[in-house]
Structure 1
Amino acid sequence: MPELMAMWCQVTDIQTAALAEVKTPKPHYHVMSCKPSPEQIAYMDKLCDRAEAVAKRKVKLEIDNMLKITGDGAKACMHTKLVSPEASEWINNKLLACAWNVWQIWTITAIAKGTQAIFCDRNAPKKDRWNSYSYIRDTLVMLGIPADQIAFIHDYDTDTKKTKLFEAINEGKIRIVFGSTSKLGTGVNMQSKLIALHHIDCPWRPSDLEQREGRGVRQGNEWSDVFIFRYVTEGRNNQAGFDSFLWQAIENKQRMISQVMSGDRTHRTIEDIDETVLNAAQMKAIASGDPLIMERATLEAELQGLGMQLQAYNDRQFRDKSKIQYLTDMVNTNHPTQIQRIQADLATVANANLKQFISDRGVMLDKAVLIDWSLD
């Protein structure tokens, strides 16, 4: 990374919001933790079996893979109905926790017409299928929020409709908006009255997280503070669950990206910043709920990373030694006469009494005219 950063900085000028001293609202982060249902715990056991089958190559990748397993795990953490339509209802799911939070903020900020954004990437609203969007909206309506103050970005399919929607949000006419990162997070100006952001699921990439939170933490917001809520479902035995692993992975990647953007060259490597996918060992740790197994999975991941760094170091050493040998052989083969002359000159210098030769502006002086400059 230091070498890459040195090359990059030769052709780029990095200006972050912190460096530019852009005045934005202060973000306040809150993690809302919810207990898992028995069905969620059982489903995590199934995911563990699927991950083990993928790791042992007992199933073809086009049929099942870790990306699908990660997506299914994230959906199950929202509500098991997303992976099993016949799943039962329970009161302590994170969708209801989000609805309760949204209703409280809606009530408190009624006079100022505070608005809120709810982000969810893994479950788009569909009329013929149970979905988290409609579930939260229906709960909010039952709590007393007028339906005309709630909007799904998916219902606004043209630029003209979207422009009118964002104007209504900035005016406080629509106070709650649902959307995915791609539809609601990128290039959207709805910050005027945005007081709270809710992450129902963990986004796939660090850039997605930045785009989401950038809707409220930006210039033009009337509020001096913005509240950001992350909803996670715990694992077995009150241990870190599927959501926690995903959020930790995203935050680690975001931290490295921030170091790169700030010009920090202390790290030699950076993780892949593409979609976050858990491995079989992490799935086993989540399903077990045993803190020792979870710690082992973390240490194994770190050990694997160190092993890759060692391999990269050995490869660099081999390449450098090969290059040195190649250049040495090339010089010896193509420039024998010059080498002989240089060796002769070096021998002459080594055998000469340099005290007899002092150059003063190009004039060679002998021993008889030496001057002790220290007495001058």
Structure 2
Amino acid sequence: MSDLSHIFKNLMFQTRHSRVAGIGNTQGSQRAMNLLFAIRDIQLRTGRSLGATFLSGTVVVNALTELYVMFKYLRPQELQSQQISCFDAWAAIFTQKSADYELNVTGKVKRKERFRTYIKVPELAMFLREITDYRTADMINLDVPEKNVRFLSHAPTIQQEEMIGRLMAFAGNGVWADLGLDTPEPDNLDKAKMLIATNVARKMSLDMRLLGDKFTDDDNNKASICARTVYDYYVRSSANKGTQFIFSDLSTYKPNEWNIYSDIKQKLVRLGIPENEIQFIQCATTESARKRLFDDMNAGRVRVLFGSTTMLGTGVNAQQRAVAVHHLEVPWVRHEVA
């Protein structure tokens, strides 16, 4: 049985559509390959397909290849009977490729070719229904609070404004020196220019200090604004010992090393929150430690908990006093605090 099966979707595959955007990483991950070997061993022993139970709240996340990967795991015999031996054969039957114009990271219009739609949907749906079952929140009478989403938008700091200009220049000409960073030029700059630009932009938007020691703190950066926002909720919910979750997948907690978690914690302590009421999920290294931490959250002994989507995003039963969940960045995958 594989819970959170969507984390195994990055399975290696071969394709001739190397210039088509959005098909994912053809090299795959070792974790996904290990799961494929384990399932194939079970299937060879039993002489049947299936052999595993996948559980997920996000079966298909963002790529048309993901359905093919699920069938490759669980229905190898059926794929063989339909003479589907590779991704390209599956794509030729069930998907349609088209080209359209899109904006790139520099704001310029570029022509992109993608697999944009499914075709033969009834046949594909029937194929999928043979191996899937689902439950919605209404079907199981899931008790969830009404969400109140707030998007806090703030002007960039002076250092961020300057870096935006440098980043635009780099994205246009690929000259590493235009970024003004102290780090050495990457070896694969020519092949990965846009990936590097995206990574720099992601770090810049969270905190300029992630780009090097030459950059400084700012009262109007995300860390400072987040600390003030969390403290406001902390004071307003003190009568009920309200708790809060802070999510960030970038610059997670590491001891004896600067990171965004520790920086915000220091700001919260200076604002007046006791240090022992602020915890990092990375410090709970065993199941018993996680359980104690979640019990402390539910009891209001811990009021602020930091974590990443991977470590705090699923299977967390610590919401009894929760008043707010803060996201410092957009997560790559969906998560639940239940």
Coarse TM-score class (shorter-chain normalised): 0.5 to 0.7
Name the residue aligned to 1:14: 134
Spell out the pairing of 1:226-375 with structure 2 (5 A cutoff). none
Name the residue aligned to 1:295: none
The offset of 1:41, in angstroms, is: 2.0
The offset of 1:59, in angstroms, is: 7.5
* Separation in structure 2 between the aligned mates of residue 42 and residue 68 of structure 1, nearest angstrom: 18
The offset of 1:61, in angstroms, is: 5.6
Spell out the pairing of 1:1-376 with structure 2 (5 A cutoff). 1=118, 2-3=121-122, 4-53=124-173, 60=188, 64-204=192-332, 208=333, 210-211=334-335, 214-215=336-337, 218=338
* Separation in structure 2 between the aligned mates of residue 41 and residue 103 of structure 1, nearest angstrom: 27
Tell me if structure 1 keeps the 8 A contact 2:279–2:304: yes
* Separation in structure 1 between the aligned mates of residue 133 and residue 276 of structure 2, nearest angstrom: 46
The offset of 1:130, in angstroms, is: 2.6
Tell me if structure 2 keeps the 8 A contact 1:99–1:139: yes
* Distance 1:68-1:169 versus aligned 2 partners, 3 A rule: farther
* Distance 1:164-1:65 versus aligned 2 partners, 3 A rule: farther
Q: Which amino acid aligns with 1:170?
A: N
Q: Which amino acid aligns with 1:47?
A: L
* Separation in structure 1 between the aligned mates of residue 136 and residue 196 of structure 2, nearest angstrom: 35
SS of the equivalent of 1:116 reads strand
* Separation in structure 1 between the aligned mates of residue 174 and residue 198 of structure 2, nearest angstrom: 12
Tell me if structure 2 keeps the 8 A contact 1:82–1:130: no
Q: Which amino acid aligns with 1:86?
A: K
* Distance 1:137-1:17 versus aligned 2 partners, 3 A rule: same
* Distance 1:140-1:40 versus aligned 2 partners, 3 A rule: same
**How many residue pairs are counted as aligned between the two chains?**
208
Alignment root-mean-square deviation, CA: 2.4
* Distance 1:44-1:148 versus aligned 2 partners, 3 A rule: same
Deviations 1:135-179 (A, max 9, x none): 111111111100010001111212221111111111111010001
* Separation in structure 1 between the aligned mates of residue 201 and residue 155 of structure 2, nearest angstrom: 15
* Distance 1:61-1:87 versus aligned 2 partners, 3 A rule: closer
Deviations 1:180-208 (A, max 9, x none): 1111112221111111100011112xxx2
Tell me if structure 2 keeps the 8 A contact 1:54–1:64: no
Name the residue aligned to 2:109: none
Name the residue aligned to 1:327: none
The offset of 1:71, in angstroms, is: 2.6
* Separation in structure 2 between the aligned mates of residue 52 and residue 19 of structure 1, nearest angstrom: 51
* Separation in structure 2 between the aligned mates of residue 125 and residue 99 of structure 1, nearest angstrom: 16
More displaced 10-residue stretch of structure 1: 92-101 or 66-75: 66-75
Name the residue aligned to 1:326: none
The offset of 1:78, in angstroms, is: 1.6
* Distance 1:63-1:164 versus aligned 2 partners, 3 A rule: farther
Deviations 1:288-326 (A, max 9, x none): xxxxxxxxxxxxxxxxxxxxxxxxxxxxxxxxxxxxxxx
The structure whose Rg is larger is: 1
Q: Unpaired runs of 5+ in structure 1?
A: 219-376
* Distance 1:53-1:5 versus aligned 2 partners, 3 A rule: farther
* Distance 1:137-1:22 versus aligned 2 partners, 3 A rule: same
The offset of 1:34, in angstroms, is: 1.4
The offset of 1:54, in angstroms, is: 6.1
Deviations 1:218-272 (A, max 9, x none): 4xxxxxxxxxxxxxxxxxxxxxxxxxxxxxxxxxxxxxxxxxxxxxxxxxxxxxx
SS of the equivalent of 2:326 reads strand
The offset of 1:44, in angstroms, is: 2.2
Tell me if structure 2 keeps the 8 A contact 1:117–1:197: yes
* Separation in structure 1 between the aligned mates of residue 152 and residue 227 of structure 2, nearest angstrom: 12
* Separation in structure 1 between the aligned mates of residue 196 and residue 220 of structure 2, nearest angstrom: 26
Tell me if structure 2 keeps the 8 A contact 1:170–1:192: yes
Higher relative contact order (CA 8 A, sep 6+): 1
* Separation in structure 2 between the aligned mates of residue 186 and residue 22 of structure 1, nearest angstrom: 16
Deviations 1:81-121 (A, max 9, x none): 11121213322112211111111111111121111000000
Name the residue aligned to 2:27: none
SS of the equivalent of 1:33 reads coil
Q: Unpaired runs of 5+ in structure 2?
A: 1-117, 176-185
- The TM-score, its normalising length taken from structure 2, stands at 0.56
The offset of 1:12, in angstroms, is: 2.5
Q: Which amino acid aligns with 1:163?
A: K
Which structure is higher in helix share?
A: 1
